[in-house]
Structure 1
Amino acid sequence: MKPVTGHLEIQRLADLSDDELVAAYAPRSGPWLRVNFVSTVDGAATGSDGLSKSINDDADGRVFDALRSRADCLVVAAGTLRDEGYDVPRLPLVVVTRSGDVPPKLRDAPPGRILMATVATADGLAEARHVLGEGNVMVLGEEEIDLAALKAQLADRGWDEQLCEGGPSLFADLLAAGVVDELCWTVVPRLLGGDGPRIATGADVDVALRPVLLLEQDGTLLGRWLVE
């Protein structure tokens, strides 16, 4: 790595081996919650089809895979899971939902692979416990999910490297709860215009970030930002 200014390091992605790339994202402490997003230069977090997969590219995919290889678990909002068509990943996947609905593609996952963070008033709570197993359903509040408790409970399971892949509303809520340690943000060299979502929407937040790593490939910028 090449120190440029302060603690920011800039490097060509192609110059890093797979092992070096994974090492470049080592957490500073634990438990560690990082959030990974992609957007266009003008801030669109999805393409015109409403999906992030339509704006990502090979560089983003390589870092995406590196982050997943480090992670102990994934944390994803139920709406994002349904919209993006998630299959059952190799990692434990925590579905964040106030309704308690288990996305259809995840209902037949091996026992313990899918978990849920929800609330006591969730309409689907009883069914979620039946489908996923009572020990895999975390009730973390009456009507709102306690996201600090979620981070702590995942760490109690031994999952110190926690990777959130969205969506924008969950990201804003995590920021508001003060539990995000890092944003991994890919900016692809495209402009889309329109009124698509940003990477954080909903809750009002004002969070300072410190860039510590910037990778580049074919005009795509991949940054690592620590929450101050």
Structure 2
Amino acid sequence: MQRLFPSRTAPVPSSHASEGAASAPEWSLEEIAAEYAYPPVGGGAEGAARWLRGNMVASLDGAIHHGGRSQPLSSPADMRIFGVLRALADVVVVGARTVRQEGYRPAKRRRAFADRRAAAGQPPAPVIAVVSAGLELDFSAPLFTEPAVPTLLITGGGAPPDRVERARQAGAEVVFAGEGGTADPARVPGLLADRGLRRQLTEGGPTLLGEFADAGVLDELCLSIAPRVVAGSAPRIMNGPVLPDPDAYALEGVLEEEGFLFTRYRRSRSVAE
């Protein structure tokens, strides 16, 4: 893996200082973690109250899946970064449709990050928080029966009471984000932060990611671009209504391995501001 941006004049991981770009050595988990470290959160005037980061993968032609799964667009480097992003997060926020399509399981305890998480006061694995209106989920799945920490369900106050009760019986914690039939995306990050879950990662799907962008609460986007062409009718990384004004994002970094680009953008402002 090699860093393309910021340029090579910027500091690089110490173990790579004498390596040429052509050799592109594999980065360690610690080096990837340093590259993707969250900004300070909840730490006084200089720290953000919380930080919501999105992570998605897309093909060259903009598809987010092939045959309904994102795995065909992934790579070993993409999976290393995926795992590190989870290991850095307090909570992984995901939509119910993505849970069903991707067969979501609980986040793993990662031995390499055990000390780091303990020192930061984080649980042994990130919480999985599923955003769902109807709570039409399989509560016998490992996501609910085998989590290292209880799975959260985020919904609206108008969610079906029988499904709410079923979720609680399965061991999930139900969080109401608004009084309507669906969760209010603008309230989700704050409610999670109130529970001490300030380092937030969302893995979509595109509807949820679009809702976060529309609500103005998406702070950062990590987008892996796969050197693949899919065609077909797969959606973009975000679906939903057009934003009133385009949001501007500043490029923070680009890594490359075997033609895959791993980009990171930080939200700056609305173009109209």
CA distance in structure 1 between the aligned counterparts of 2:213 and 2:27, rounded to whole angstroms? 30
Q: Structure 1 unaligned runs (5+)? A: none
Aligned length: 222
Q: Which residue of structure 1 aligns with residue 113 of structure 2?
A: none
Deviation at 1:121, TM superposition (A): 1.5
Q: Which residue of structure 2 aligns with residue 199 of structure 1?
A: 237
2:138 paired with 1:103: yes
Alignment RMSD, CA only?
A: 2.3
Deviation at 1:214, TM superposition (A): 0.1
Q: Which residue of structure 2 aligns with residue 121 of structure 1?
A: 158
The one of 86, 89, 94 aligned to 2:129: 94
Deviation at 1:16, TM superposition (A): 3.2
Deviation at 1:109, TM superposition (A): 3.3
Higher relative contact order (CA 8 A, sep 6+): 1
User: Which of the pair has more CA radius of gyration?
Assistant: 2
2:193 paired with 1:159: no
Q: Is the 8 A contact 1:36 1:164 kept in 2?
A: yes
Q: Which residue of structure 2 aligns with residue 27 of structure 1?
A: 38
The one-letter amino acid paired with 1:34 is R
Q: Is the 8 A contact 2:251 2:264 kept in 1?
A: yes
Q: Which residue of structure 2 aligns with residue 63 of structure 1?
A: 81
Q: Is the 8 A contact 1:112 1:132 kept in 2?
A: no
Q: Which runs of 4+ in 1 moved over 6 A?
A: none
CA distance in structure 2 between the aligned counterparts of 1:150 and 1:42, rounded to whole angstroms? 31
Q: For residues 197 and 111 of structure 1, do their structure 2 counterparts lie closer, same or farther at Cα, with a shift above 3 Å needed?
A: same
The one-letter amino acid paired with 2:135 is G
2:206 paired with 1:171: no
Q: For residues 110 and 46 of structure 1, do their structure 2 counterparts lie closer, same or farther at Cα, with a shift above 3 Å needed?
A: closer
Name whichever of 165-174 and 200-209 sits farther off: 200-209
- Secondary structure at the residue paired with 1:42? coil
Q: Which residue of structure 2 aligns with residue 145 of structure 1?
A: 183
Q: Which residue of structure 1 aligns with residue 65 of structure 2?
A: 46
CA distance in structure 1 between the aligned counterparts of 2:230 and 2:136, rounded to whole angstroms? 33
Residues 62-104 of structure 1 show CA distances to partners (whole Å, capped at 9, x for unaligned) of 1101101101111010110110011122321101001123334
Name whichever of 216-225 and 52-61 sits farther off: 52-61
The one of 61, 79, 86 aligned to 2:97: 79
CA distance in structure 1 between the aligned counterparts of 2:62 and 2:93, rounded to whole angstroms? 23
2:183 paired with 1:180: no
Name whichever of 87-96 and 65-74 sits farther off: 87-96
2:251 paired with 1:211: yes
Q: For residues 103 and 177 of structure 1, do their structure 2 counterparts lie closer, same or farther at Cα, with a shift above 3 Å needed?
A: farther
Deviation at 1:120, TM superposition (A): 1.5
The TM-score with structure 2 as length reference comes to: 0.75
CA distance in structure 1 between the aligned counterparts of 2:258 and 2:132, rounded to whole angstroms? 37
The one of 196, 214, 221 aligned to 2:261: 221
- Secondary structure at the residue paired with 2:165? helix
Q: Structure 2 unaligned runs (5+)? A: 42-49, 109-125, 269-273
Deviation at 1:110, TM superposition (A): 4.6
